[in-house]
């Protein structure tokens, strides 16, 4: 009897030690992984692949391989993320919101990615964000434009490391009034879907607030991927507005510009291309002088001259023989934001690998350096980034860069073109930009 009691005691002791060990290891948080798996979702096929998806994918490839090799300038000169290499899992954004919701679930639950960076289409962002929250999976949206996401709901695991469409169009309105203060009439040609409708509304309302006597002469919404704009061009030529605003992108933008050339639309009106940066390297000399070019923030030709940007342009151009455009910059912002957050959480954790929640807490409200300058996660409870925006106007062809040079470049700081925290964009514009601080 005594022997068996001793046996039980010994067993109890062993069990107790085991339980304590398991308890300690769980308490110490997740172990340092062999790699950080990052799901990357961007258009690899379809109309948005060439102008956006592939430049973003290229940026992800080159930045991740440089990061893993530890060749990025400070403050990102440590290899990988805290010494752990990054492994991208790249998938196509095609197939619609329904397919993307299924693919997001697969990335998180089957591929076991640590986070997902993705989504160019606003519909995909809107559909996937609640799923990320449901699965408690980190999601960093890198390129979609809608301002709805953080203005309608609050999230814990969802972030966006670039500014939304408001800054493009408020910035465009402010820029026009700076270089053409006498502007009296405006017109818009935008694709008939949410992006085009939002962009034009924001631009028109901003112009009306900034200069109430401005008249709108034409509002055109050809369908997405129409590709043929002779009727619209005729109407715009007849209306003779001082300024024509367009948020066209990709093939539509190129078609519109090329079809407008022989009809000299740019001589009668000042064209404002909010996504114009993407066509500068593609169309070269075909873009006439006097066209206002935006890049959805300080990206591409309008990016600041900082060491990170010089490095980024160089490694990207060496690898792909073309310079990075704004979707590439958006991708860089997401990747550097993630690295910054992980390493901040790692430091706060005294070297123990952080949980998703700790990474999310570190990214919330963070400020970090990117090739586009310093990004602040200032809106949506620290989940939505603000950026400044820059615009310039084409002047002459530069034979060295094979691009039109931009002059009269003007940078509007983030406080000038973004609503303050807690205010919806629409309301901010309707109330005449309260709290905006512009130079």
Among residues 28 and 430, whose Cβ is nearest to another protein? 430
Q: Rule CB under 8 A: is residue 95 a binding residue for another protein?
A: yes
- Sign, CA dihedral 305-325-151-171, equals positive
Stretch that binds another protein, among 90-98, 279-287, 358-366, 413-421 (CB under 8 A): 90-98
Chain residues 338-367 in contact with another protein, contact rule CB under 8 A? none
- Under rule CB under 8 A, residue 173 binds another protein: no
Contacts by residues 284-289 (CB-CB < 8 Å, ≥ 24 positions apart): 284/397, 284/402, 284/403, 284/404, 285/397, 285/404, 286/257, 286/258, 286/261, 287/257, 287/394, 287/404, 288/261, 288/394, 289/393, 289/394, 289/395, 289/396, 289/404
Q: Which of residues 195-254 bind another protein (CB under 8 A)?
A: 195, 197, 221, 223-224
Q: Which of 426, 333, 311 is nearest to 386 (CA)?
A: 333
Q: Report the residue number, 105 or 364, with the smaller CB distance to another protein.
A: 105
Residue number, 94 or 423, with CB nearest to another protein: 94
Considering CB under 8 A, how many residues would be counted as binding another protein? 37
Q: Which of 58, 68, 146, 328 binds another protein (CB under 8 A)?
A: 146
Question: Given the rule CB under 8 A, which of 156-164, 193-201, 358-366, 379-387 is the region that contacts another protein?
Answer: 193-201
Q: In the complex, what is the shortest distance from the CB of residue 110 to another protein, in angstroms, rounded to a whole number?
A: 5
Give the footprint of another protein on residues 125-144 (CB under 8 A): 126-127, 130-131, 134
Question: Dihedrals φ, ψ of 99, to 5°?
Answer: -65, -40
Using CB under 8 A, which of the segments 1-9, 103-111, 159-167, 428-436 binds another protein?
103-111
> Nearest to residue 203, comparing CAs of 438, 429, 431?
429
Q: Report the half-sphere exposure of 175 (CA within 13 A, side-chain side).
A: 33
CA–CA gap between residue 180 and residue 242 (Å, rounded)? 9
Where on the phi/psi map is residue 210: left (φ > 0), alpha (ψ -120 to 50), or beta?
Answer: alpha
Q: How far is the CB of 21 from another protein (least distance, A)?
A: 30
- Choices 186-194, 314-322, 378-386, 412-420 (CB under 8 A): range interacting with another protein: 186-194
Q: Is 101 in the site for another protein (CB under 8 A)?
A: yes
Residues in CB range of 426: below 8 A, 6 or more apart: none
Among 25, 77, 192, 367, binds another protein (CB under 8 A): 192
Binding another protein (rule: CB under 8 A), the pick from 5, 27, 98, 351 is 98
Q: Cβ 365 to another protein, closest distance in Å?
A: 26
The least CB distance from residue 117 to another protein, in Å, is: 15
300 in helix, strand or coil? helix
- Report how far apart the first and last C-alpha atoms of the chain are (Å, whole number): 89
The residue written with tokens 């350096």 in the block is 369
Query: Cis link prior to 339 (omega < 30° from 0)?
Result: no
128: Cβ contacts below 8 Å, ≥ 6 apart: 97, 100, 101, 104, 118, 119, 139
Residue range at the interface with another protein (CB under 8 A); choices 96-104, 325-333, 335-343, 377-385: 96-104
Site string for another protein, 57-76 (x = CB under 8 A): --------------------
Q: State which of positions 23-52 bind another protein (CB under 8 A).
A: 44-45
- Specify the stretch interacting with another protein by CB under 8 A; choose among 119-127, 225-233, 382-390, 426-434: 119-127
231/238 Cα distance (integer angstroms):
11
d(CA 137, CA 155): 11
Q: Which stretch binds another protein (CB under 8 A): 190-198, 347-355, 412-420, 425-433?
A: 190-198
Distance CA 336, CA 177 (A): 34
Distance of CA 316 to the CA centre of its chain: 18
Binding-site ranges for another protein (CB under 8 A): 44-45, 90-92, 94-99, 101-103, 105-106, 108-111, 122-123, 126-127, 130-131, 134, 146, 148, 192-195, 197, 221, 223-224
């Amino acid at each position: 009897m005594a022997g068996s009691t001793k046996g039980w005691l010994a067993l109890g002791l062993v069990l107790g030690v085991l339980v304590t060990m398991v308890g300690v290891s769980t308490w110490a948080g997740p172990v340092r992984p062999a790699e950080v798996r990052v799901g990357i979702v961007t258009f690899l096929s379809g109309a948005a692949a060439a102008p956006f998806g592939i430049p973003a994918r290229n940026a992800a490839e080159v930045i991740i391989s440089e990061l893993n090799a530890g060749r990025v300038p400070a403050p990102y000169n440590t290899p990988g993320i805290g010494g752990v290499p990054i492994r991208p899992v790249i998938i196509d954004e095609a197939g619609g919101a329904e397919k993307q919701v299924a693919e997001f679930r697969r990335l998180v639950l089957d591929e076991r990615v640590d986070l997902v960076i993705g989504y160019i289409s606003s519909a995909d962002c809107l559909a996937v964000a609640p799923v990320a929250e449901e699965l408690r999976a980190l999601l960093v949206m890198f390129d979609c434009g809608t301002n709805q996401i953080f203005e309608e709901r609050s999230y814990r695991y969802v972030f966006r490391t670039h500014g939304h469409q408001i800054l493009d169009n408020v910035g465009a309105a402010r820029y026009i009034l700076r270089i053409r203060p006498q502007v009296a009439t405006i017109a818009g040609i935008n694709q008939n879907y949410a992006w085009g409708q939002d962009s034009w509304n924001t631009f028109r309302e901003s112009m009306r607030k900034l200069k109430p006597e401005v008249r709108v002469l034409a509002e055109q919404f050809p369908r997405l991927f129409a590709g043929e704009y002779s009727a619209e061009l005729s109407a715009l030529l007849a209306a003779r507005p001082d300024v024509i605003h367009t948020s066209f992108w990709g093939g539509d933008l190129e078609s519109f510009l090329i079809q407008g050339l022989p009809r000299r639309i740019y001589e009668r009106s000042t064209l404002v291309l909010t996504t114009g940066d993407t066509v500068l390297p593609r169309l070269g000399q075909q873009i006439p002088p006097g066209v206002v070019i935006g890049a959805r923030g300080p990206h591409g030709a309008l990016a600041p001259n900082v060491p990170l940007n010089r490095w980024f342009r160089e490694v990207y151009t060496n690898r792909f023989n073309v310079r990075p455009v704004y979707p590439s910059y958006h991708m860089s912002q997401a990747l550097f934001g993630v690295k910054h957050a992980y390493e901040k959480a790692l430091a706060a954790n005294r070297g123990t690998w952080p949980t998703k929640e700790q990474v999310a807490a570190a990214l919330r409200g963070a400020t970090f350096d990117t090739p586009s300058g310093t990004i602040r996660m200032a809106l949506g409870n620290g989940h939505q980034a603000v950026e400044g925006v820059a615009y310039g106007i084409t002047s002459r062809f530069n034979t060295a860069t094979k691009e039109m040079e931009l002059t009269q470049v003007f940078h509007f700081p983030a406080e000038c073109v973004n609503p303050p925290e807690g205010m919806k964009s629409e309301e901010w514009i309707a109330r005449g930009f309260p709290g905006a601080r512009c130079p």
